[in-house]
Amino acid sequence: MFQIEYPAILGYTFGGTVVSVGPNVDSVKVGDRVAVACWGRAAVDKRFGAYQKYPLALEENLVKLDSQTSLEEGSGVMANLATVVAALSICMKLDYPPIDDRAPSNGKRILIYGGSSSVGGLAVQYATDAGYDVVTTSSPANWDLVQRRGPSSTIDHTLPREQLLESIKASGPYDGIFDAIGSAEVTELMGELLAEDGGLFWSTSPTPADSRLPKNVKKEWGGYSDILVSRDENKDAKVWYLQEYLPKGLSGGRIFSNPSYIFPGGLESVQDALDAFMAGKISGKKVFVNPQDQ
């Protein structure tokens, strides 16, 4: 386990243009555009944190972008999609999707709660492309965004709780459930959904509500990106993701981020951007700051 050192420079994913390379780096050159995730030891080393003008990047943690892919698009999906690959295909054992097409329907139905979130939207498209019938949730404000991902059904999560629960039940049964929100409220809702017959659902994080789940309902969660990129048993999946699925999907336009919102003010605005996001003032968008802005 890597321990963070203080003072720390945070920021987990970024995109940029290479200005210098180390002596043993041969996959990129000066002038190349890349998307980077701070996985492994880079996650706790301040030299690699995104919230600075010139962060370092480990060669194994980057993807080279073609001229058609924006920095926002590449960096906006890199870590979130790694989470999806690990959660759905490694942990939940769902099929991997084709790289440049959609698989035929396999007749299985998956619930992905939170289809307008960054992870949720990518999960909806990933599972749909793998041949699953996907039911998801969204507010009406983000309906069009979610529909671009190809779900078979989208449920309004702003409905009164009992009506929401009944709508989710009526769209089942489900061969797998993934909660892309990870809140206590959704944990409780999934507990109610599964309480009658029992079952398992996967989520993005623990919550205080976990201990209150019915005894016949099990919740699993994990550090999904780390599961994909840091475990030897998943090295083939990592290679497939970083060298095939992600770069080709971005280049061909099949993989895309939620719309980007660049928060003005450069590095001085990082805290304001985080505060706005945590306060729920920004929905259905990926928030960026440009460290080169003054």
- Domains of the chain: which residue ranges? 13-79+232-288, 80-227
Residue 228: which of 96, 53, 124 has the closest Cα?
96
pTM for the whole thing? 0.92
Per-residue pLDDT of 113-131, as tens digits, reads: 999 999 999 999 999 999 9
> Which pLDDT tens digit goes with each residue over 133-185?
999 999 999 999 999 999 999 999 999 999 999 999 999 999 999 999 999 99
Fold annotation for 13-79+232-288: Quinone Oxidoreductase; Chain A, domain 1 (3.90.180)
DSSP per residue, 7-63: S-----EEEEE-----TT--S--TT-EEEEE--GGGGT-GGG-SSSSS----GGGEE
Measuring CA to CA, which residue among 113, 120, 207 is closest to residue 167? 113
CB-CB contact of 75 with 36 (8 Å): yes
Burial 46-65 (b: 16+ CB within 10 A, else e): bebbbbbeebebbeebbbeb
Q: Is 80-227 in CATH node 3.40.50.720? A: yes
Backbone φ, ψ for residue 35 (5° rounding): -110, 140
Q: Output the pLDDT for position 2.
A: 59
Q: Is the pLDDT of residue 198 over 90?
A: yes
- Same fold? 13-79+232-288, 80-227: no
Total Cβ atoms within 10 A of residue 98: 13
Mean confidence (pLDDT) of the chain? 94
As a whole number of angstroms, the distance between CA 92 and CA 200 comes to 10
Region 261-283: mean pLDDT is 87
